[in-house]
Structure formats: structure tokens, C-alpha cells
């Protein structure tokens, strides 16, 4: 729910006070484009210096998880923004400013995708190799979280197909199908999962050595889970296509970093969690459109549905594929308007 006019005025006074106390009261304020959350970011610029202010209004946002994960990543030697000043009660943070060179912007400017994706993959390798990466006080990416996220597909997208809410009997069948799939999920080493590891949230820091040359953003939802999740998040991006050959090259690069990793188990986990993530994203993007009026997210849904359909051909996802074929024929027979270019083949396990 958006802030009322009075709440906005009170919030603005609190923000002004925080900036003044932090010693940046005389700085120019540059408001950055908002994301899908209630957070907003303001660059404070003074001469050649700049810092980033995060405004995360309670109770809509809780900055404590961001603080915990940011400090943990920095302690491990990775480039999360350093915390310069904090007021967790009011929801204000003053952060190190990484600049504007997100991977997305660099790709749009013509920079080759190889160097950027390799930096991202190498960062994941180093992070997952670190013996202390999972030693942080955050929750687990457990079965109930995975199921709840997958159900966003039922809550928001499926009603757009037939204009009715999903009956509870069908919902239970959907959950049972996913339970059947996830009960066979291979056991990989538990690691920190940043959950939104993709080119929009990665920044090139060319004056730093690998892995610190890859700036990390938007990790406040991190949980402890499977190492395959963030690899899938990067290589099956809701907003950007890459070729199957390039994806396979990046997967090979990641797997080569782990001599004792069971590759078949990893790829089975990759397929499962990719499909789960795609269902979640389709649900979230539909919700952003239907509830929040953010129609531009609809443009990405065809790409995500195409990824999902490719994975549904994998035998491990048969229970979910069967449920969809039985109860949502509209989904399994997408119209031409929901197709994307460079449709890629299913990944091999």
C-alpha cells in the first residue's frame, strides 16, 4: 500500500534529518528509477564524491536482512556495498556508491556478454567455494518456501487464463505435484542463495580484482539453499535472452570450478529450481501488473513461459507437466503472441 500524503511528508522530514546527520545535507540529490519493491534509491553527490541512500519505509520493507547479508558478503571478500550509516528503525541506509555500470547497461552499450557473464560465473564459483559462505543468520530455502513461491503461478497467472480463481482441490493437486518433484531434489552442498543474481543486479567494478570486480546488489532476500539456484537465475534471466550454446558454455565454466561435484545431480537440481523460479516470476510479474498497475512487466512473461515449457519436457518434472496439461490447457497451447525469439532447447541433465 502506498504512503498517504501525510505519511509521505513525515517520511520526507525523517529522510532529510538522516541525510543531515550523516553529513550529506549539502549534497545534490539524484533520484534513481524505482524497482518492483517499495524501496527507492537516491544518489547523494558532492563534487567528485557520491554515496547511495536506500529509503526502505517500514513496515513495507525491512532493511535488517540487507544489513546482515551485505556485511556477511563483505567479510567474505565480495563486493556488496559497504554500509556507511544506518538507521534500521526508520529504514534508511547510506551505502557505498558503485556507480551506474550495471551489466545490463554495459550490454545495452555494446559490451561483449562473454566477459560479463564470465565475471558473474567466477563470482559464484568463488562464493560457493568459500567455506564460510553459508555461515550467516538467514533462513533456509526449504520445501515450504519453494511451494509457496510456485503457488504464485496459481494465485495470479492461472486466473488470467480462465478468469476464475483456482479451486482448493486443484491447488492441492498442484502442491502434490511439486512435492513429488522436490522430494527427489538432489542434495547439493548448502550455500547462500542471493536469489536475484542476474545482470540487472550486477555491476562491473573494473578497478578491483576478481571476484571483487563484480558488484552485488539486491540480495536482501537471500536464503540458504542449493548452489544451482543462482546459476539458473543468471543464465535464464526473465529480462534477457542468451543462446543455448552460450548458456552451456557458462554452465561448463561453473561446473569446471568444482572437481568433486556430481554434474548430473547439479543439472537435475538446476532444472527443478529453474522451473520453480519461472513459475514464481510469472506469478510475481502478473501481480505487479494486476495489483500494482506496472504493465511493463508483462513484456517479460512470454520469455519466462518459454523457459518453463522447455524444462517441463524433462522427466523429473513429469508430475508438474501432467498437472498443467490436465488443468491448464491454455498454458500448454500458447498463442503466437507469447512466443519469443531464439527459443532454446531443453537443457540436458
Domain containing 160 — which CATH number? 3.90.1200.10
Nearest to 50 by CA among 33, 27, 16: 27
pLDDT of residue 225: 97
Total domains in the chain come to 2
Residue ranges of the chain with pLDDT lower than 50?
334-349
Nearest to 225 by CA among 104, 144, 304, 313: 144
CATH of the domain at 66: 3.30.200.20
**What are the C-alpha distances in Å from 307 to residues 59, 114, 196, 205, 285?**
35, 21, 17, 30, 15
Whether 289 maps to a domain, the answer reads yes
Neighbours of 233 (CB within 10 A): 22
Q: Are residues 56 and 149 in the same domain?
A: no
Q: Is-contact 215 202, C-beta < 8 A?
A: yes
Q: Is-contact 191 229, C-beta < 8 A?
A: no
Looking at 96, 128, 155, the residue that finishes a domain is 96
Whether 203 maps to a domain, the answer reads yes
Looking at 76, 96, 116, the residue that finishes a domain is 96
Whether 143 maps to a domain, the answer reads yes
Q: Which long-range contacts (CB under 8 A, 24 or more apart) does 12-16 make?
A: 14/90, 14/92, 15/53, 15/55, 15/92
Q: Are residues 84 and 129 in the same domain?
A: no
Q: Are residues 181 and 272 in the same domain?
A: yes
Neighbours of 265 (CB within 10 A): 15
What is the rounded CA–CA span in Å between residue 247 and residue 347?
9
Whether 347 maps to a domain, the answer reads no
pLDDT of residue 1: 55
Nearest to 230 by CA among 144, 316, 314, 117: 117
pLDDT of residue 33: 75
**Bond preceding residue 327 cis, omega within 30 of 0:** no
Cell (9 digits) for 303: 520469455
Q: Where are the alpha helices (DSSP H) in the chain?
A: 5-21, 64-76, 103-108, 113-129, 143-150, 152, 158-162, 168-182, 228-235, 244-256, 263-290, 301-311, 318-327, 329-332
Q: Are residues 120 and 63 in the same domain?
A: no
Q: Which domain holds residue 327?
A: 103-338
Whether 112 maps to a domain, the answer reads yes
pLDDT in tens, 274-313: 999 999 999 999 999 999 888 899 999 999 999 999 999 9
Q: Are residues 84 and 173 in the same domain?
A: no
Looking at 96, 113, 148, the residue that finishes a domain is 96
Q: Name residues whose C-beta falls within 8 Å of residue 57's C-beta, 6 or more positions apart in sequence.
A: 3, 11, 38, 91
Q: Are residues 221 and 206 in the same domain?
A: yes
Amino acid at each position: 500500500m502506498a504512503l498517504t500524503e501525510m505519511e509521505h511528508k513525515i517520511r520526507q522530514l525523517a529522510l532529510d534529518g538522516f541525510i543531515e546527520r550523516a553529513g550529506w545535507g549539502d549534497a545534490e540529490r539524484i533520484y534513481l528509477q524505482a524497482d518492483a519493491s517499495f524501496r527507492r534509491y537516491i544518489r547523494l553527490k558532492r563534487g567528485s564524491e557520491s554515496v547511495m541512500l536506500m529509503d526502505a519505509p517500514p513496515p513495507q520493507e525491512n532493511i535488517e536482512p540487507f544489513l546482515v547479508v551485505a556485511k556477511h558478503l563483505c567479510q567474505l571478500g565480495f563486493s556488496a556495498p559497504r554500509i556507511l550509516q544506518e538507521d534500521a528503525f526508520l529504514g534508511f541506509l547510506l551505502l557505498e556508491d558503485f556507480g551506474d555500470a550495471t551489466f545490463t547497461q554495459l550490454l545495452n552499450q555494446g559490451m561483449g556478454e562473454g566477459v560479463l557473464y564470465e565475471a558473474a560465473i567466477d563470482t559464484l564459483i568463488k562464493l560457493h567455494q568459500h567455506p564460510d559462505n553459508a555461515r550467516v543468520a538467514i533462513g533456509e530455502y526449504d520445501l515450504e518456501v519453494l511451494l509457496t513461491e510456485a503457488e504464485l503461478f496459481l494465485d495470479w497467472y492461472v486466473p488470467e487464463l480462465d478468469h476464475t480463481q483456482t479451486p482448493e482441490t486443484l491447488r492441492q493437486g498442484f502442491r502434490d505435484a511439486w512435492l513429488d518433484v522436490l522430494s527427489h531434489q538432489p542434495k547439493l552442498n548448502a550455500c547462500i542463495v542471493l536469489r536475484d543474481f542476474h545482470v540487472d543486479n550486477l555491476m562491473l567494478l573494473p578497478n578491483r580484482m576478481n571476484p571483487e570486480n563484480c558488484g552485488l546488489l539486491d540480495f536482501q532476500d537471500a536464503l540458504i539453499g542449493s548452489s544451482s539456484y543462482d546459476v539458473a537465475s543468471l543464465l535464464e534471466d526473465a529480462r534477457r535472452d542468451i543462446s543455448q550454446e552460450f548458456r552451456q558454455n557458462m554452465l561448463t565454466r561453473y561446473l569446471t570450478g568444482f572437481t568433486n561435484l556430481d554434474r548430473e545431480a547439479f543439472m537435475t537440481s538446476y532444472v527443478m529450481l529453474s522451473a520453480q523460479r519461472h513459475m514464481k516470476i510469472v506469478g510475481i510479474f502478473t501481480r505487479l501488473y494486476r495489483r500494482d498497475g506496472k504493465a511493463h512487466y508483462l513484456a517479460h512473461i512470454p520469455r519466462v513461459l518459454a523457459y518453463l515449457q522447455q524444462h517441463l519436457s524433462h522427466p523429473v518434472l513429469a508430475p508438474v507437466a501432467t498437472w498443467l496439461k490436465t488443468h491448464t490447457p491454455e498454458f500448454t497451447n500458447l498463442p503466437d503472441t507469447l512466443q519469443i525469439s531464439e527459443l532454446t532447447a531443453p537443457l540436458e541433465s
